[in-house]
């Protein structure tokens, strides 16, 4: 049996890089030789979790439990094509949506497979992409344009989240938008809001580390350490307050500050993943007919993210703050994010250790 290297999640803070058997392409699937993978907030949550990785009861869709290979953000080259797959060939440069869905429920049948009733994710509920090879459903693939380097394409998954969330809110064109949390999801929201021609975009974070990046991307920046965020929004918006706020942290404090800065009729988009269940005062919403939205991954938006990179609209280079290999993933990637999470936007894994193409 051909063995390949992969990062396998065994338990809380226990990810082991070891030899595993190489996947083969089942019907409707392809195997991708992974070039780059990205460490997602989800992977960091699972590293210190589990949050969603099934440990006792098998997952409702995949029937799998840990140990599992983690990772769902990746790009690479197709190395094997399963029966029944059309339009994809060995050698194609691809990235993929890591959503796993049943294909039968009402959500799946309407194309909204990201809210499937049996929803799962690659690298959480099935072997994922922090590996030399990953098996993925052909229907979830996206072709990487020739002019887009692999190293850029690996960032499209988190950017797609911002595009999807913005669509769910009915767009933010001409609106005053606040984004709390300048991590990769917040930056993705910023890029999506900018593309949608928001009137103004204010990003709120802790410390000044992200100011330059946010300003270079066309946003304004406010450091939470220097004052009250709702007062800052009042000044920035000339008293109007925010039409829309994106919560991109997953904390009670971030959620509260989003609610405090919304104008009547304003929209709150919750994108953060909460390790502790938050409290929401519904009267704050009802009194001003404020609206609450949530967003779960994305469907076709990776294509839009790729198109925008191809069009030169997004320079993803500055978003990559560290590059590791499979061998250094735990020490210099996952543990580094525990130690110095605020310093990083996106840590990527050079799986083949070939360097940039």
- Return residues touching Zn ion (CB under 5 A): 40, 73, 101-102, 105, 108, 116, 157
Please give the helix or strand (H or E) that residue 126 lies within, else none.
none
Q: How far apart are CA 300 and CA 295, in angstroms?
A: 14
Q: How far apart are CA 151 and CA 348, in angstroms?
A: 9
Q: How far apart are CA 29 and CA 81, in angstroms?
A: 7
The C-alpha angle with vertex 222 and arms to 219 and 226, in degrees rounded to 5, equals 170
Q: Cβ of residue 154: shortest distance to Zn ion, in angstroms?
A: 10
Which residue number, 157 or 243, has a Cβ lying nearer to Zn ion?
157
Which residue number, 185 or 203, has a Cβ lying nearer to Zn ion?
185
Which residue number, 73 or 304, has a Cβ lying nearer to Zn ion?
73
Structure tokens at 140: 């979830």
Which residue number, 157 or 304, has a Cβ lying nearer to Zn ion?
157
Q: Cβ of residue 177: shortest distance to Zn ion, in angstroms?
A: 22
Q: Cβ of residue 261: shortest distance to Zn ion, in angstroms?
A: 27
Which residue number, 192 or 242, has a Cβ lying nearer to Zn ion?
192
Q: Cβ of residue 230: shortest distance to Zn ion, in angstroms?
A: 30
Q: Cβ of residue 115: shortest distance to Zn ion, in angstroms?
A: 8
Q: Cβ of residue 314: shortest distance to Zn ion, in angstroms?
A: 17
Which residue number, 61 or 77, has a Cβ lying nearer to Zn ion?
61
309: Cα separation from own chain's centroid = 16
Residue 319: how many other CB atoms lie within 10 Å: 22
Which residue number, 106 or 208, has a Cβ lying nearer to Zn ion?
106
Q: Cβ of residue 104: shortest distance to Zn ion, in angstroms?
A: 6
Which residue number, 162 or 229, has a Cβ lying nearer to Zn ion?
162
| Helix%, strand%, coil% for the chain, nearest 5 | 30, 30, 40
Q: Cβ of residue 211: shortest distance to Zn ion, in angstroms?
A: 25
Q: How far apart are CA 243 and CA 196, in angstroms?
A: 14
Q: How far is CA 2 from CA 5, 20, 24, 146, in A?
A: 10, 9, 10, 30
Q: Say if residues 82 and 27 touch (Cβ distance below 8 Å).
A: yes
In sequence order, what E strands does the chain have? 3-11, 14-21, 29-39, 68-69, 73-81, 93-96, 99-100, 120-121, 133-137, 141-143, 176-180, 200-205, 220-223, 242-247, 262-270, 291-294, 320-324, 346-350
């Amino acid at each position: 049996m051909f063995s390949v290297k992969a990062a396998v999640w065994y338990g809380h803070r226990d990810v082991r890089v070891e030899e595993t058997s190489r996947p083969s392409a089942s019907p409707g699937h392809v195997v991708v030789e992974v070039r780059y993978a990205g460490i997602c907030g989800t992977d960091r949550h699972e590293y210190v979790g589990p949050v969603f990785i099934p440990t006792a009861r098998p997952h409702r869709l995949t029937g799998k439990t840990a140990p599992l290979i983690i990772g769902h953000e990746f790009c690479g080259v197709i190395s094997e094509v399963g029966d029944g797959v059309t339009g994809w060939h060995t050698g194609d440069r691809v990235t993929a949506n890591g959503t796993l869905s049943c294909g039968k429920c009402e959500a799946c049948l309407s194309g909204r497979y990201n809210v499937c009733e049996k929803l799962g994710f690659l690298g959480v509920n099935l072997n994922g992409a922090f590996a030399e090879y990953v098996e993925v459903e052909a229907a979830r693939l996206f072709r990487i344009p020739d002019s887009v380097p692999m190293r850029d394409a690996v960032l499209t998954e988190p950017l797609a989240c911002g595009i999807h969330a913005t669509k769910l809110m009915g767009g933010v064109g001409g609106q005053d938008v606040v984004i709390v949390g300048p991590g990769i999801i917040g930056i993705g929201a910023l890029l999506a809001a900018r593309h949608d021609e928001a009137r103004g975009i204010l990003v709120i974070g802790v410390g000044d580390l992200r100011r330059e990046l946010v300003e270079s991307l066309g946003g304004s920046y406010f450091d939470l350490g220097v004052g009250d965020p709702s007062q800052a929004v009042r000044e920035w918006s000339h008293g109007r307050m925010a039409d829309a706020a994106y919560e991109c942290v997953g904390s009670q404090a971030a959620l509260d500050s989003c609610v405090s800065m919304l104008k009547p009729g304003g929209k709150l988009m919750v994108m953060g993943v909460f390790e502790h269940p938050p409290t929401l005062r519904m009267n704050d919403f009802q009194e001003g007919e404020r609206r609450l939205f949530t967003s779960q991954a994305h469907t076709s938006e990776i294509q839009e993210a790729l198109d925008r990179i191809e069009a030169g609209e997004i320079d993803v280079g500055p978003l990559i703050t560290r590059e590791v290999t499979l061998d250094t993933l735990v020490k210099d990637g996952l543990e580094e994010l525990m130690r110095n999470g605020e310093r990083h936007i996106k840590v990527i894994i050079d799986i083949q250790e070939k360097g940039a193409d």
